[in-house]
Amino acid sequence: MLHDVCGLQAQLLSAAALGIRARTTGLRQADITRAINDERSIVRTWLMRGTLHLIAAEDLGLMLGLLGRIVAAGKQSRHTQLGLDSDLKRRGVIAIRRILSRTGPLTRYEIVERLRRHGITLDRKTQAPIHLIQLAALEGILCLGPDREKTREPTYVLIDDWLEHPPSPPNQAALGELARRYFAAYGPAAVDDLVAWSGLPVTQARLAITMALPALAQVKVDGRACFALKERIESTSRRSPGTKTVRLLPAFDSYLLGYQSRDLAVPSRLQRRLQRGGGWLHPAVVIDGRAVGAWSFRKAGGQTQVLIETLEPIEGPLQEGVEAEVADVGRFLGMPLTVRKTRLR
């Protein structure tokens, strides 16, 4: 599934796990944890837009090879603000590789302490440490490992030690493959959407689309030239018109972050409710790809409740769909959930 959707945004790991639930059948939260920590078929690292993502381990080489340097280059001004000059970054990344090769998984501040012993001092109170660690990740040196059991603090590991098969660098066709898979997951979408999602320069995004054109269909959406995978258009046309799909998407869901604008998926009345500042994108109730409300967990009478807030009343089969989704979230998390509905004002 992660291969099909080009990864899921995962700065909040619990939300990313719920994003996997929304796109699969029968998995439980423990299955996701096992895939990350034991099977290591899922990798958590910084990718698109410089944010943490869950990605299929088999795709790590492709994505890092295409996007790692681009994302790192976009961080230069922030690095300068944090006092991370070119020499410090070079020495720091080399030292981090050596440190992790000897110690195995370490937390951010454990890395900072060992860097100090190597003569590299970073201010723990700033974001300099995490930016240096992120740079090492974007250069394909490390990724996130298992969280510490007691503190739940993430650790960092060398990719070469963590994965049985180290990622291979992308081949010449990789740019076109990235575009093909993006439009398979997010199409119909435009060039600007691919740029916003990936961080590719416009010229490279256009080249990627050109390389992928044999697999793409060109369509118009509100007057915009868009692209979609031909196979997806054909399968969508065969779908029963009476079928409506209800999904409870988590915070920071990639479906709502995969485009330059969310206007087609989120009505204007709902946008402020889902994005209330601070860079936080709240969980959404989505029917047939269009957001109709928000949802959240609440404690009520000693029970965990799912509060469903919608623009319009949801009744009949759609209400049954919402209740089925809530039940499945409870199954996934291994906890009973109750439902409360209300109207957004």
**pLDDT average, residue stretch 54-67:** 95
Is pLDDT larger for residue 28 or for residue 277? 28
Min mean pLDDT across 23-32, 217-226, 276-285 is at 276-285
**pLDDT average, residue stretch 293-321:** 92
Residue type, 289: G
Looking at the domain assignment, is residue 168 inside a domain? Answer: no
CB under 8 Å to 297, separation ≥6 — which residues? 304, 305, 306, 307
Q: Do 178 and 130 fall within a single domain? A: no
Q: Would you state the pLDDT for residue 300?
A: 82
Residue 324: its H or E element:
helix 316-333
**pLDDT average, residue stretch 298-318:** 91
Q: Would you state the pLDDT for residue 81?
A: 97
Q: Would you state the pLDDT for residue 302?
A: 84
Query: Residue 173 is encoded by which pair of tokens?
Result: 């066709």
Q: Do 134 and 214 fall within a single domain? A: no
Q: Do 255 and 215 fall within a single domain? A: no
Q: Are 141 and 93 in contact (CB under 8 A)?
A: yes
How much of the chain, in percent, has pLDDT values that exceed 90? 85
Looking at the domain assignment, is residue 333 inside a domain? Answer: yes
Q: Would you state the pLDDT for residue 166?
A: 78
Q: Would you state the pLDDT for residue 255?
A: 95
Distance CA 240, CA 221 (A): 22
Confidence band of 237 (pLDDT split at 50, 70, 90): low
Looking at the domain assignment, is residue 213 inside a domain? Answer: yes
H helical segments located in 1-148: 13-22, 29-37, 60-73, 76-81, 86-103, 108-117, 128-138
Query: Domain total for the chain?
Result: 3
Q: Would you state the pLDDT for residue 240?
A: 60
Q: How does pLDDT run across 244-256, given as a tens digit for each residue?
A: 899 999 999 999 9
CB under 8 Å to 339, separation ≥6 — which residues? 305, 306, 308, 322, 323, 326
Instruction: Residue 117: give the domain boundaries.
Output: 8-162
Q: Do 155 and 231 fall within a single domain? A: no
Query: Does residue 7 register a pLDDT over 70?
Result: yes
Last residue of a domain, one of 237, 258, 276: 237
Under DSSP, the state recorded for 281 is B
Q: Would you state the pLDDT for residue 108?
A: 97
Q: Do 221 and 268 fall within a single domain? A: no
Q: Would you state the pLDDT for residue 279?
A: 80
**pLDDT average, residue stretch 157-176:** 90
Q: Do 18 and 135 fall within a single domain? A: yes
CATH code for the domain of 18: 1.10.10.10
Last residue of a domain, one of 195, 210, 237: 237
Q: Do 82 and 136 fall within a single domain? A: yes
Looking at the domain assignment, is residue 2 inside a domain? Answer: no
Query: Does residue 325 register a pLDDT over 70?
Result: yes
- 3-class DSSP assignment, residue 222: coil
**pLDDT average, residue stretch 169-174:** 85
Looking at the domain assignment, is residue 167 inside a domain? Answer: no
Distance CA 71, CA 48 (A): 7
Last residue of a domain, one of 108, 137, 162: 162
Q: How does pLDDT run across 98-145, given as a tens digit for each residue?
A: 999 999 999 999 999 999 999 999 999 999 999 999 999 999 999 999
Q: Do 60 and 199 fall within a single domain? A: no
DSSP per-residue codes, 178-212? HHHHHHHHH-SB-HHHHHHHH---HHHHHHHHHHH
Q: Do 14 and 133 fall within a single domain? A: yes
Q: Do 228 and 253 fall within a single domain? A: no
Q: Are 55 and 45 in contact (CB under 8 A)?
A: yes
Q: Would you state the pLDDT for residue 93?
A: 98
Q: Would you state the pLDDT for residue 238?
A: 56
Q: Would you state the pLDDT for residue 169?
A: 79
253: left (phi over 0), alpha (psi -120 to 50) or beta: beta
Q: Do 80 and 188 fall within a single domain? A: no
What does pLDDT average to over the chain?
94
Query: Does residue 242 register a pLDDT over 80?
Result: no
Looking at the domain assignment, is residue 322 inside a domain? Answer: yes
Min mean pLDDT across 43-47, 165-169, 227-231, 283-287 is at 165-169
Query: Does residue 170 register a pLDDT over 60?
Result: yes
Looking at the domain assignment, is residue 3 inside a domain? Answer: no
Q: Do 78 and 140 fall within a single domain? A: yes
Confidence band of 167 (pLDDT split at 50, 70, 90): confident
